[in-house]
Structure 1
Amino acid sequence: MANADVVAYNIAAFISTLFLLEFGADKFIDHTAVVARRTGIPETIIGLVTAGGEWEELAVVIASLARNRASLAIGNIVGSAISNILGAFSLGLLFHPKDSPIVFDRSSRIYSLILLVLTTFVTPIIYSSTRTIWLVCGSILIAFFAIYIGSVGWAISEGTMTAPEDSDSDDSDDSDEGNDSDDSDDSSNDESTIDVVAERTSDHTNGNYHRPNGSAPIEYDEQTNQAAHAGSSATQILPRPSRPRPRTLPYHISYLLLGFLAICLAGYVLSHAATTITDEFGIADVLFGVVILAIATTLPESS
C-alpha cells in the first residue's frame, strides 16, 4: 500500500521542480551564449552548446545514473525522442500557417538523416541482454558522438550546415549585446534628424512643406502653418529615449553559474521524486521514464 503523504509530497516536488529545471536551463543557455561571445569563443561552439544540447534531459539522466537507476534514464531518453517526434513535431505540422508551405532546409535534412542512421544502429541493442554488448556499443556510441560533434562543428564553420536555432532562448540577453552598436547608429543619425526637423520648421514657417522624396511642396494656410510650427517645436524638445546599458561580464557569469546549479538541483530532485513514486506504486522505471518523466521534461521545450 502506497503511503499517501510520501506520494503527495514527491508529486508536488516533481511538478514544482519542473519549473526550476526550465528556469535553470534557460538562464544557463542564454548567459553561456553571451559570455562566449564576449570572450571570443567561435559561434560554432556557441550554437552546438546552447541549441544542440538538451540540458534538461542530460541533468535528469545523470542524476538517475548516479542513483543506480539506469532504467529510469533509458526510459527518459526513449520517451523524450517519442515526445519530440509525436508531440512537438506533429504540433508544428498541424499549426503551421496554411498560406506558407513547409520548407525544410538542407541542414534539417542532414540532421534528420544522421538521426535515422543512429536510431537504426541503436535499436537492435535494446533487445540484447548481454552486458558485454552493452559496454562495447556504449563505447562505440560515445566515439560516434565525439565524431558527430566534430563533424557538425566543421560543417558549420565551413558554411555547409547551419547551426541549430534555439527556440527557448530569451531576447533580453541578445539585446544587451546589441546596445553598443545601436547607440553608435543612433548617435550618427542624430544630426540628420535635427536637420530634417529644422528644415520642416523653416518650411512650415514659410507656408510650405517639402515631402521627403523631393516632390513639390504643399501649400498650407495660416492656421495650419501655426499648428505645424507648434508641433515641430514640440518635436524638437522631446527627450531622446534612453537605452538600457549592457550588463557586465561578471553579471552574466553569475547567472550562468546560477542556471547550472539550478539544473543540477532540479535533476537530482526529479530523479529522487521519480524513483520514490515508482517504488511506492510498484511501477517499472522504464515505464515511468517513458510516459511521465520524458513528457514532463519535453513539454516546456515545445511551448
Structure 2
Amino acid sequence: MLPFIDHIPSIGGQLALYAALFVAGIVLLEKGADKLVDSLAIVAKRFGVSQTTIALLTAGAEWEELAVVTVALAQGHRDLGLGNIVGSCIANVIGSFSLGLLFPGDRVLEVDRSARLYTALLGVVTLVVGALAWTNHLSKPLGAGLMLVFAAYVAVVGYAIYRGVMEPPVDSDSDSESDSGLSSSSDDEEGLNSGPNGVSRVETSSTPLVNGIIPGIGLRRPKSTAYHVATVGVSFIALSVSGYLLAGSSTAFAEAAGLTDTVVGLTLLSFATTLPEKLVAVMAARRGQSGILLANTVGANIMLLTLVLGIVLCTGDVRLSDKTRMYDLSVLMGSSAAFIVVIYTGYLRKWVGGLLLVGYVAYIVGNFVIKDV
C-alpha cells in the first residue's frame, strides 16, 4: 500500500518495516491528538469562534483518507478506495462518535447551534449521495459536482472563522484567560492554578518571570495565540501522517492474508484510517469539548462524501455491487439518521454510545459473513 516499501524485494523485510511504521503511527497518533484537542480549544476561545466551526477543517478533516485513496487509485485499486470511503463514514458515525459518548469527562456534553447546523448539512449530503449511489448514478459529472460542493463548504466555514476572528467577544482576554476544561497534563495551563487554599490564581503579564516562571508561585505565563495556532497545524499534520502510516501498514497485512479490496476497504482500512478520529473523539469528550467531538464526525464525513468521493468518481463511472448497495449503504444511511437524531435531541449519553458501538461491531462482522455479489 505504501509505494516505497512495495519495492523492497523481501516479503519479510516489507512486513517488518510495515510493523515499525504501524508503531510509529500509534505514537504520532497519541501525541498529535493530545496536543490538537488542547490547542484547538484555546484557539477557538481566543478567536471567539465556535469550537465546532474551527474544528471542521482540522480535527474533522480527512486529509489522511485523501492520501490513502489517492495511493489506492494510483495503484489501480479503485474498489479499495471506494470501500474505504463508505466504511470510514460508517466508522466515524458509529465508531468514533460512540467512543466519545462512552468516555465522557466531568463536564456535561452539550450541542450548540452551529453543531446542529452542520449536522443538518451532513444529513443532506449523505441523503443525496446515498440516493445516487443506491440507484448506481455515480458518474464523472457527479464527481466534479461533489468537489465543487466541498469548495463551497470550505468557503462557508472559512468565512465563519474569519467573521469570528474579526469580531472577537467583548470579554475575551488572551493574556489572562483560563481556558478551563483542558487536561491537567497539558504543558500549557494558561496561567491558571490553585493556591494553597484551593483558590485559583491567574498570573498577570506585568509579573517578572524567571525562566518563564513566576517566582514564588511556579505558574507559567500563557503561551501566545500564534504558538497554539502553530501547535494545531503541527498536530494536524501528525494525525494525517499517522493515519496514512496506520492505513498503509494495516492494508499490507490484510492483503498478505488474501482479503479482497472491497472487504479490506470497508473494514480494516476504514478502521485504521479513522483511528485518529477515534482518539480525538475520546480526548475531546474527556475534556468536555463537545464541539470538537461533533466536528470530528461531521467534518470528516462531509469531506469524504464530497472531495474524496468526487476524486474517485472523476477517474471513471462507478457501479456498486448489490451487497454494497443493500448492506453497506443501508448501514451508512441508518447510522447517519441515528447520529442526526442524537444531535438534535441532545441526548449524548453513555448507553447511546454503547448501542452505536455494538452496531459498528455488528457491521464489521457482517462484512465478513455476507458475500459480495
TM tier, shorter chain? 0.5 to 0.7
CA distance in structure 2 between the partners assigned to 1:64 and 1:251 by the alignment:
32
Evaluate the alpha carbon distance shift between residue 85 and residue 269 of structure 1 in structure 2; reply closer, same or farther with a 3 A threshold: closer
Q: Among all aligned residue pairs of Structure 1 and Structure 2, give the percentage whose two residues are the same amino acid.
A: 28
State yes or no: 1:262 paired with 2:238. yes
Query: Residue 87 in 1 paired to residue 63 in 2?
Result: no
Task: Supply the AA of the counterpart residue of 1:277.
Answer: F
Report 1:212-231 matches (<5 A). none
> How many matched pairs?
237
1:53 to 43, 55, 58: 58
Number of the residue aligned with 2:32: 24
Q: Which amino acid aligns with 2:278?
A: L
SS state of the match for residue 204, structure 2? helix
Q: Is contact 2:251-2:269 (8 Å) kept?
A: no
- Provide the aligned C-alpha RMSD in A: 4.8
- Contact 2:97–2:278 at 8 Å: present in 1 too? no
Give the equivalent residue in structure 2 for 1:236: none
Report the residue type matching 1:115 in the other structure: L
Q: What is the match of residue 351 of structure 2?
A: none
Name the SS of the counterpart of 1:184 in structure 2: coil
SS at match of 1:121: helix
Q: TM-score, normalised by structure 2?
A: 0.47
Structure with the largest fraction of helix = 1
SS in 2 for 1:78: helix
TM norm structure 1: 0.55
Q: Which residue of structure 1 lines up, in the alignment, with residue 3 of structure 2?
A: none
Aligned to 1:176: 190
Please tell me whether the aligned partners of residues 22 and 56 of structure 1 are also in contact (alpha carbons under 8 angstroms).
no
AA matched with 2:86: V
The residue number in structure 1 matching 2:48 is: 43
Secondary structure of the structure 2 residue equivalent to 1:176 = coil
Cα pair 1:31 1:173 within 8 Å, conserved: no
Distance 1:252 1:156 in 2: 17
Provide the rounded CA distance (Å) in 1 between the counterparts of 2:271 and 2:133: 21
Give the C-alpha shift of residue 44 in structure 1: 2.5
The answer to whether 1:288 aligns with 2:264 is yes
Higher relative contact order (CA 8 A, sep 6+): 1
1:121 aligns with 2:128: yes
Residues 53 and 64 of structure 1: CA distance in aligned 2, closer, same or farther (over 3 Å): same
* 3-state SS of 2:18 partner: helix
Q: Provide the C-alpha distance between the structure 1 equivalents of 2:246 and 2:52, rounded to a whole number of angstroms.
A: 27
Distance 1:300 1:146, change over 3 A: closer
Cα displacement string for residues 119-158 of structure 1 (whole angstroms, at most 9, x for unaligned residues): 1011134353654234333233224423542575489789
Give the stretch that moved more between structures: 128-137 or 27-36. Answer: 27-36
* TM-aligned CA distance change 1:57 to 1:146, over 3 Å: closer
Please state how far the C-alpha of 1:116 moved relative to its aligned partner.
Answer: 1.0
Residue aligned with 1:243, SS? coil
1:284 to partner: Cα distance: 3.5
Out of 12-21 and 48-57, give the one that drifted further: 48-57
On the 8 A contact 1:30/1:50 being kept in 2, the answer is no
What does 1:1-303 align with in structure 2 at a 5 Å threshold? 6-7=14-15, 9-11=17-19, 13-28=21-36, 30-31=38-39, 42-44=47-49, 48-50=53-55, 53-54=58-59, 57-66=62-71, 68=74, 71-90=79-98, 104-127=111-134, 128=136, 131-150=139-158, 153=161, 170=183, 172=186, 175-176=189-190, 182-184=202-204, 240-247=216-223, 258-259=234-235, 262-296=238-272, 297=275, 298-303=277-282
Match in the other structure for 1:220: none
Q: Which residue of 1 aligns with 2:294?
A: none
Deviation for aligned residue 1:185? 10
1:196 aligns with none
In structure 1, C-alpha distance between the alignment counterparts of 2:278 and 2:205, rounded to whole Å: 40
Q: Cα gap change, 1:83/1:29 in structure 2, threshold over 3 Å: closer, same or farther?
A: same
Measure, in 1, the Cα distance between the counterparts of 2:64 and 2:50.
20
Work out which of the two has the higher radius of gyration on C-alpha atoms and give 1 or 2.
Answer: 1
Change in CA separation of 1:301 and 1:132 when aligned onto 2, cut-off 3 Å: same
> How far apart in 1 are the matches of 2:100 and 2:37?
23
Q: Extract unaligned runs of 5+ from structure 1.
A: 160-167, 188-238
CA distance in 2: counterparts of 1:101 and 1:35, whole angstroms: 21
Query: Structure 1 residues 121 and 243, CA, compared in 2 at 3 Å: closer, same or farther?
Result: same
List alignment gaps of at least 5 residues for structure 2.
Answer: 1-10, 169-180, 194-200, 208-214, 283-373
